[in-house]
Amino acid sequence: MCGIICYVGKQPALPVLLEGLKRLEYRGYDSSGIALLEDEQIRRFRAVGKIRELETGLIEWTSDAKTGIGHTRWATHGKPCVENAHPHSDCAGEIFVIHNGIIENYLALKQELITAGHRFLSETDTEVVAHLIEEACREHADLEEAVTRALARVRGTFGLAVLSTRHANSIIIARRSSPMILGISDSGTFAASDVSALVAHTKQVVYLQDDDLAVLTPDGYRITNLHAPAEVNRQEQTVDWDVDAAEKQGFEHFMLKEIHEQPEAVRNAMRGRLVPSEGISVLGGLAGVREQFLRMEQLILVSCGTSFYAAMLGRYILEFCTDFRVEVDVASEFRYRRLNLRDNTVVLAISQSGETADTLAAIREAKRKGALVLGLVNVVGSNIARETDAGIYNHAGPEIGVASTKAFVSQLTILYLLTLYLARHQHMSVTDGQEFIRELESIPDKIEQILAKSAQIQQVARRYAQFRDFMYIGRKFNYPIALEGALKLKEISYLHAEAYAAGEMKHGPIALINPDFPSVCLATQDSTYDKMMANIQEIKARCGRTIVVGTEGDAQLPALCDDFIGVPASSELFAPLLTVIPLQLLAYYIALENGCEIDQPRNLAKSVTVE
Ligand code: G6P
């Protein structure tokens, strides 16, 4: 997804922008660009591909400019090419714009501007903003006023920055439904779409709110509103992420580092939220809506991608432990249904980034229909966090790898906390609550034991890396994990992976089984063990290879399957927190064997802010 970094201050801007753009790489992008303001002139450079392409192109550049803007683009309107990369400029080359989001009415505006004599050089929606500002400047000499007027004509979402020769030593920033954060330091003023682009320079930040317009200067900033010229105050905050948290810390990839951070992610999700003596969980973020929440007649979990599989498991565990009626829906489909929500419906949106456009659209629809809307979000201050009535934060720290791992395990952990929260208000006894907490608290150590087997899992991955097709099967609590395991493999190694509820095998997918189509089977010792065993036999009978994730010490499976990966014993309710770990590692090592670009897989984005 697109990323923005801006700087105006006392240092040369170019290195600041390049460094910031590198920190934004994890969001997924296909091209990048910068513009620098120096001696009343703006110089721009753009490149397709990685930031290193941009750097290579800039090798000959020397610049003392102390004001500049930088952008990573993830194509939405027009293919990835230099012409479509940001910054985009007006006809005169005096106004340069970088933009995250989508201008929905750009075609009509573009037509109008072309009729008025403007010349367009890209296929993007963003370019209309530069020309709209140019047009507005004809009537209003003041750039700030022109930006305000231009944005009044725009329908859609934007986090944007404007650099102009008309406004020396300053940058104008505006946002609507797309994050923008200001960074304040002695060496200058920054703006970025993501706090990770700022933390190397400053921890003092200001989260802009919708329709804020900020003017950055070397000594600070001034914020007004797009609808009212009066200055507004936004609280400065200190971020608790440091640069280290956003770096790989010795791991070859962010994804591997994040897989290894999972014991900590589980602990962080639980921290301060369990009362073992009473067998309860305390979720402070829900305190304000507690009565309404407990009165609910229906709970709907909405989310996308990996977060959707967390929701699927959420339904299993909530239904298992409580009497609530629970539904799940893919956020992008939610709005297409003729939603006949019961009274007292609660919709819980699950989103790592808190910015996923489909999930945002789903919660807006749910609100319109009168539901209480809650969020389970990792990114503090994100759109979903702000638009929900109440919620729970993951506290999982930044997740940089595009393929979600620790955020998923953190989401699951919080869904267990939520289950306990609700179940203890129904029939779950204090002793069962205490046992629930004991099981949950034992998970981080058990994950560590599985991580200690990474070398064995890497060996298995080496044996299977040349296969092109995989089947993943599981039942009950392990079914969503089979789906998630297959998604991990698809995302980072581009291999074909199908996931099925194991009972569905016989209804079609079994036709695919042959020696070149291995199956990954989740068969922990639980209530579905015998049936999983039968599925594994069926695969073996058709000469299919099997990798089985089962319970350590299993006496039968290692002899039956081709490769066995054991996880520590647990009750079946909690097994998913363990069985997912070998599947993440398997996907990681298969991708590594195949030389894939693990942290930024092709075509994928970390934060998908388009519908
Ligand atoms: C993208 C990411 C996935 C993620 C999904 C939902 O597709 O690549 O890893 O699961 O979005 O994201 P969210 O931030 O809402 O959890």
Q: In DSSP terms, which residues pair with 181 in a beta bridge?
A: 192, 207
Question: Letter for the amino acid at 125?
Answer: D
Gap between the Cα atoms of 562 and 550, Å rounded: 13
Q: Do 106 and 158 meet the contact criterion of CB atoms below 8 Å apart?
A: no
The model's pLDDT over 41-64, given as tens digits with 9 standing for 90+, comes to 999 999 999 999 999 999 888 889
Gap between the Cα atoms of 290 and 287, Å rounded: 5
pLDDT band at 78 (very low <50, low <70, confident <90, very high): confident
Gap between the Cα atoms of 99 and 108, Å rounded: 19
pLDDT band at 558 (very low <50, low <70, confident <90, very high): very high
Q: How many residues does the chain have?
A: 611
Gap between the Cα atoms of 343 and 365, Å rounded: 15
- Percentage of the residues of the chain whose pLDDT score is greater than 70: 98
CA of residue 272 to ligand 1 center, whole Å: 27
Q: Do 27 and 605 meet the contact criterion of CB atoms below 8 Å apart?
A: yes
Q: In DSSP terms, which residues pair with 346 in a beta bridge?
A: 299, 372
3-state secondary structure of 60: coil
Q: Tell me: pLDDT of 21 over 70.
A: yes
Report the pLDDT averaged over residues 366-373: 95
Report the pLDDT averaged over residues 575-580: 98
Nearest CA to ligand 1 atom 3: 305
Q: In DSSP terms, which residues pair with 182 in a beta bridge?
A: 191, 206
Residue 562 burial (CB < 10 Å; 0-12/13-18/19+)? Answer: middle
pLDDT at residue 242, rounded to an integer: 65
For the chain, what is the total number of helices (H) and then of strands (E)? 19, 27
Q: Which residue has the tokens 């709907």?
A: 300
The first and second tokens of residue 311, run together, are 């929701």
Would you say the CB of residue 193 lies under 6 angstroms from ligand 1?
no
pLDDT band at 326 (very low <50, low <70, confident <90, very high): very high
3-state secondary structure of 499: strand
b/e per residue, 70-89, with b = 16+ CB within 10 A?
A: bbbbbbbbbeeeebbbbbbb
b/e per residue, 19-56, with b = 16+ CB within 10 A?
A: bbbbbbbbbbbbbbbbbbbbeeebbbbbbbebbeebbe
Q: 301, 306, 382, 584: which to mutate for ligand 1, most atoms within 8 A of CB?
A: 306
Catalytic residue annotation: 2, 606
Atom of ligand 1 nearest to the CA of 384: 15
CA of residue 384 to ligand 1 center, whole Å: 13
Torsional class of 299: left (φ above 0), alpha (ψ -120 to 50), beta (otherwise): beta
pLDDT at residue 273, rounded to an integer: 93
The model's pLDDT over 179-231, given as tens digits with 9 standing for 90+, comes to 899 999 999 999 999 888 998 899 999 999 999 999 999 999 999 999 988 99
- Percentage of the residues of the chain whose pLDDT score is greater than 90: 81
Q: Tell me: pLDDT of 564 over 60.
A: yes
Q: Tell me: pLDDT of 400 over 90.
A: no
Would you say the CB of residue 157 lies under 6 angstroms from ligand 1?
no
Q: Tell me: pLDDT of 251 over 90.
A: no
Sketch out the chain's domains with CATH numbers. Answer: 3-245 (3.60.20.10), 248-443 (3.40.50.10490), 453-598 (3.40.50.10490)
3-state secondary structure of 207: strand
Report the pLDDT averaged over residues 542-555: 97
Would you say the CB of residue 352 lies under 6 angstroms from ligand 1?
yes
Least confident of 21-30, 390-399, 489-498: 21-30
The model's pLDDT over 422-448, given as tens digits with 9 standing for 90+, comes to 999 999 999 999 999 999 999 999 999
Q: Which residue has the tokens 């993440």?
A: 584
The first and second tokens of residue 480, run together, are 């969503």
pLDDT band at 243 (very low <50, low <70, confident <90, very high): low
What does the mean pLDDT of the chain come to?
A: 93
Gap between the Cα atoms of 113 and 120, Å rounded: 9
Would you say the CB of residue 606 lies under 6 angstroms from ligand 1?
yes
Gap between the Cα atoms of 185 and 292, Å rounded: 43
b/e per residue, 295-329, with b = 16+ CB within 10 A?
A: ebebbbbbbbbbbbbbbbbbbbbbeebbebebebb
pLDDT at residue 245, rounded to an integer: 59
Q: 353, 412, 598: which to mutate for ligand 1, most atoms within 8 A of CB?
A: 353
CA angle, corner 446, sides to 441 and 576, nearest 5?
85
pLDDT at residue 246, rounded to an integer: 52
Nearest to 183 by CA among 241, 247, 236, 240: 236
CA of residue 168 to ligand 1 center, whole Å: 39
pLDDT at residue 388, rounded to an integer: 96
Q: Tell me: pLDDT of 97 over 60.
A: yes
The model's pLDDT over 124-157, given as tens digits with 9 standing for 90+, comes to 999 999 999 999 999 877 999 999 999 999 998 8
pLDDT at residue 250, rounded to an integer: 66
Cβ contacts of 578 within 8 Å, gap of 6 or more: 443, 446, 447, 450, 524, 567, 568, 570
Cβ contacts of 520 within 8 Å, gap of 6 or more: 470, 471, 472, 473, 482, 485, 486, 546, 547, 548, 549, 583, 586
Least confident of 84-98, 339-353, 482-496: 339-353
Q: Tell me: pLDDT of 6 over 60.
A: yes
CA of residue 304 to ligand 1 center, whole Å: 6
Would you say the CB of residue 359 lies under 6 angstroms from ligand 1?
yes
